[in-house]
Chain A
Amino acid sequence: MIKEERHVLVIFPHPDDEAFGVSGTISTYIEMGVPVTYACLTLGEMGRNLGNPPFANRETLPQIRKKELQNAAASMGLTDLRMMGLRDKTIEFEDDEKMIQLVTDLIEDTTPSLIISFYPGLSVHPDHDATGRAVVRAVRRIPESERPKLYTIAFANNTAEVLGEPDIIHNVEAVAQKKLNTLNSHASQTVWMMRDMEKRLAEKDPDALKWLHTERFFTYNWDNDFE
């Protein structure tokens, strides 16, 4: 059961971060009539997949990924896509206060009832962790009674040791095709993975189906703050 929200704000650093663990949730909210804003901080300029033979080079990749991101948004039915213009792999080196302000501005502009981002320190990629840090710090400054809920994604190998099991489980089977379309929209990043995944899904592999149909989040626990 996915709870009704007033407005959902999703903040991730890379085109495709939304596809893996959140595109079913985003698609469901949109079908429910809940407005969703997706702020994507970079265009994944430093992505490594260029193909061999290559389909892109370092300088053309961002434009390819921008189109993929726009197609992914369309696949989810998302109309409020904001590209924030930062550079891939540099988020953690930006001024911390500038990053908090960027998130604060997004929150003030959209007044979300729910924010979805990464869990700082348990999200593997430095950009993921830096994005999560900025989001947590910005939300922490909001008085407790007015704070939006914060759902986080964590997938470091030690996540269960630190956070236990996710408390929010969304069944997104009803929008599975939209999720697959979103994943396939990011072909420059996902084409190899999806070739294998679609074969497993066709064979009704239980792990693959669970991966497609279930999205899991940790509600950020202010009594167990990361800093």
Chain B
Amino acid sequence: MEIVKPDHLQELLDSYANKDVYIHLETTNGAYASHFKEGFFNAGAFIRNVVVKYELGKVAGESPHRVGLKLPSGWIYAQGITHYTVDEHDRLLMCGLDPDGKLAVALEISETPFTY
């Protein structure tokens, strides 16, 4: 993965628009967050292999970026995106890595299902 180039990412988001795509969306503080820091309110969310068709995808802001997908009757967005790649299966993988290299958020778009 490389640091996001917003213009390039925008082109990629455009290329998946108006198609049925599989989504992976994840936010996390890590399962150990409230073990190492007692009282820490640990929250996160995860969905994988949900199929949507978005009509508009946008990358916004300076790094860490926000990425939003407008659906016919709803929204998907992620904030904190720093890195991206298109892998050998033509999947657009985006994530937000903190300075220690720990993933905090991931948004992935694919025309084929992700593994389990």
User: Smallest CB–CB gap between A158 and chain B, Å?
Assistant: 10
B109 interfacial contact with A, CB 8 Å: no
**A61 — nearest CB in chain B belongs to which residue?**
B103
For chain A, residues 170 to 202, give those with C-beta under 8 angstroms from any C-beta of chain B. Answer: 192
User: Smallest CB–CB gap between A7 and chain B, Å?
Assistant: 30
Interface size of A as a range:
20 to 34
Residue numbers in A under 8 Å from B100 (CB-CB): 52, 192
A224 interfacial contact with B, CB 8 Å: no
A157 vs B32: C-alpha distance when bound (angstroms):
12
For chain B, residues 58 to 116, give those with C-beta under 8 angstroms from any C-beta of chain A. Answer: 83, 85, 87, 91, 93, 95, 97-104, 106, 108, 114-116
Q: Is the CB of B83 within 8 A of A49?
A: no
B53 interfacial contact with A, CB 8 Å: no
**A51 — nearest CB in chain B belongs to which residue?**
B101
Residue numbers in B under 8 Å from A127 (CB-CB): 31
Partner of A58 from B32, B35, B38, B108 at Cβ < 8 Å: B108
Number of interface residues of B (CB under 8 A): 29
User: Smallest CB–CB gap between B50 and chain A, Å?
Assistant: 15
A57 interfacial contact with B, CB 8 Å: yes
A58-B28 in contact given A52-B99, A52-B101 (Cβ < 8 Å): no
A85 vs B115: C-alpha distance when bound (angstroms):
11
Q: Is the CB of A125 within 8 A of B116?
A: no
For chain A, residues 50 to 85, give those with C-beta under 8 angstroms from any C-beta of chain B. Answer: 50-54, 57-60, 62, 85
Q: Is the CB of B24 within 8 A of A58?
A: yes
Residue numbers in A under 8 Å from B93 (CB-CB): 57-59
Identify which of A58, A89, A157 gathers the most chain B CB atoms within 10 Å of its CB.
Answer: A58
**A14 — nearest CB in chain B belongs to which residue?**
B31
Residue numbers in A under 8 Å from B114 (CB-CB): 59
A87 vs B46: C-alpha distance when bound (angstroms):
12
Residue numbers in B under 8 Å from A208 (CB-CB): none
A89 vs B116: C-alpha distance when bound (angstroms):
13
User: Smallest CB–CB gap between A124 and chain B, Å?
Assistant: 5
Q: Is the CB of A58 within 8 A of B31?
A: no
For chain A, residues 132 to 171, give those with C-beta under 8 angstroms from any C-beta of chain B. Answer: 156-157
A126 vs B46: C-alpha distance when bound (angstroms):
15
Other A-B pairs beyond A48-B30, A52-B100, A89-B46, 4, CB < 8 Å: A46-B46, A59-B91, A125-B32, A192-B100
Between A and B, 7 residue pairs with Cβ closer than 8 Å are: A48-B102, A48-B104, A52-B97, A54-B101, A57-B1, A59-B108, A59-B114
